[in-house]
Every structure is written in structure tokens, then in C-alpha cells.
Amino acid sequence: MKAKIGIVSLLMALVFFFTINVAEASVIELSYNFTTPVIGKGLEDYDIISMGLPKTSNAGLPVIPFKPVTVLLPYGEALDNVEVIPGNKTFIGDWFFIEPGQAQIPSCFNGTITRTPPNATVYNSTEKFPSRLYSSLPVQDLCGYKILFLNLYPVRYVPKPGEIWYYENMTVVVHTKEQGPKGGLDFYRGLPEDRARVLEIVDNPEEIVSYDTQKPKKARKGTSYLYSSLQTKLIDEQFFEFIVDIFSL
């Protein structure tokens, strides 16, 4: 009898534990709409895609638009997984030859500049480019605020036979989980300037309320918040590199 009671108690404890963890997890959903791409002509009669977005710049690969996405994770939660759900797919046309990205040239270079040719493997392929809907960086920390950077790729290009498609909208679904005791150092300072900076860059500013109720962490004696300033600079540099698409597609 005691054994049965013990088993029942254990099962109830497990159910209670998992219920708490599920309750503490969050789901963040963000939707983005895109305008119809405009196709124009560039150098050497290449086709250029424009839709009011930044563009990739990988040498030799098709230059396509992308949408930067910046997601603030709730306080005390870590990234679990990301889903990108494409909306209606619209056909633009075929027989397009999208311009290839060019190799970066140092400003001090004085020699003859040779244009980077199209990557033969990609441009002779019948596979869609890019092969995925998005790329991402590991979650970044800006003065204690956890931020996820993504790039969405609303345009699809099939080099052979030069077809271009695009998604009219895309939905980003971010699933989080409880961070746990080993979630890393907490550099949240609760400063108004930190809060203002985060609100300027994230797409879901409403999540900042989960930080507003937290008590700022005190620096240990003999230490300073120099790390947080350096951390901010590193995020700026990483985001800039990400914007020019350091990830291969």
C-alpha cells in the first residue's frame, strides 16, 4: 500500500514539474508582409531584384533580398527552436539571370579589379536558391537582454530555367524554454539607456515588460560594467557582419 502511494505521489510530482515548465515557456509569433519584387537590368545584362530590403553579397552567388528580424526573448528564458512558416507563393517569371555577388575589395587596393563570375555549380542547378527560408545567429546578450537575430529569405530563385518566386508573407514562430540555473551570467542592469537601446532594435518591444519587473544585478566589489559596453560593441559588429550575410546560403 505504501509503495502504491509512493508511486502515485511521484507521478503527481512529475506532472506538476512538467506543467510548471510548460507554463513558463513562451511562444513568440511575428508576421512580415513583402511587396512584389521589381526586376531590373544591371551590368553585363544581369537581372537585379529589388523589393525595398537589404541584399545578400556572397561572392559568385545570386544576390537576393532578405529581411532582418530581431526578436527579444523573455527574461529568464532560452531559445528552444524557431519555425518559419511561408505564406502564399507567387510566381514572377522565368529565364532570369540574377546578378552574382562580388568579392570584397580593400579600399587601399590599387590594382585591376576583376568582376567575380557566377558560381557555375549554383547557376547550373535546378535546385531552389537559397535552400532554406532563414539563417540565424546564436542568441546575443545586450546588457542582459537576450536577442535573437534572423534573416528571412522571401525570394526563391531556380537558376535552371531562371524562375523567380516570392512569398507574400512569412511568419516567424519562436519557441522558448526555461533557462535553468546554468543559463549563463546575467548582466541585466535595469538602466533606462539599455532599455531604450533594445526598444530601438527589436521587432517585439512588448516582451520588454518581462525585464522591467526584475531586480538589476549588482556588480561584484572591484569590478565594473565595462564588459557590458564591450558586449554592446561586439553585438553591433556581429550584426553588421550578419547584415552583409556572412552565412553561406
Q: Which residue has the cell 521589381?
A: 38
- Of the listed ranges 26-35, 41-50, 233-242, the one predicted with least confidence: 233-242
Is residue 169 a part of any domain in this protein?
yes
pLDDT digit string (tens) for 71-107?
999 999 999 999 999 999 999 999 999 999 999 888 8
Q: By residue range, what is the domain housing residue 46?
A: 25-243
Is residue 249 a part of any domain in this protein?
no
Q: What is the pLDDT of residue 134?
A: 97
CATH code for position 49: 2.60.40.3800
Is residue 12 a part of any domain in this protein?
no
- Report the sign of the C-alpha dihedral through residues 34, 40, 44, 46, in that order: positive
Q: What is the pLDDT of residue 100?
A: 97
Is residue 1 a part of any domain in this protein?
no
- Three-state SS sequence of the chain: CHHHHHHHHHHHHHHHHHHHHHHHCCEEEEEEECCCCEEEECHHHCEEEECCCCECCCECCECCECEEEEEECCCCEEEEEEEEEECCEEEEECCCCECEECCCCCCCCCCCCCCCCCCHHHHCCCCCECCCCEEECCCEEECCEEEEEEEECCEEEECCCCEEEEECEEEEEEEEEECCCCCCCCCCCCCHHHHHHHHHHCCCHHHHHHHHCCCCCCCCCCCCCHHHHHHHHHHHHHHHHHHCCCCCC
Is residue 13 a part of any domain in this protein?
no
Banded pLDDT at 229 (limits 50, 70, 90): very low
Q: What is the pLDDT of residue 249?
A: 59
Banded pLDDT at 192 (limits 50, 70, 90): very high
Is residue 18 a part of any domain in this protein?
no
Q: How many domains does the chain have?
A: 1
Is the CB of residue 34 less than 8 Å from the CB of residue 184?
no
pTM of this prediction?
A: 0.79
Q: What is the mean pLDDT of the chain?
A: 82
Tell which wins on pLDDT, 25 or 200: 200
Q: What percent of the chain has pLDDT over 90?
A: 62
Q: Exposure pattern of 73-95 as b/e (b: 16+ CB <10 Å)?
A: bbbbbbbeebebebeeeeebeee
Mean pLDDT in residue range 183-204:
87
Is residue 229 a part of any domain in this protein?
yes
Measured CA to CA, the distance from residue 186 to residue 168 in angstroms comes to 39
Banded pLDDT at 184 (limits 50, 70, 90): low
Q: What is the pLDDT of residue 183?
A: 52
Tell which wins on pLDDT, 161 or 13: 161
pLDDT digit string (tens) for 40-83?
999 888 999 999 999 999 999 999 999 999 999 999 999 999 99
Q: What is the pLDDT of residue 213?
A: 85
Is residue 101 a part of any domain in this protein?
yes
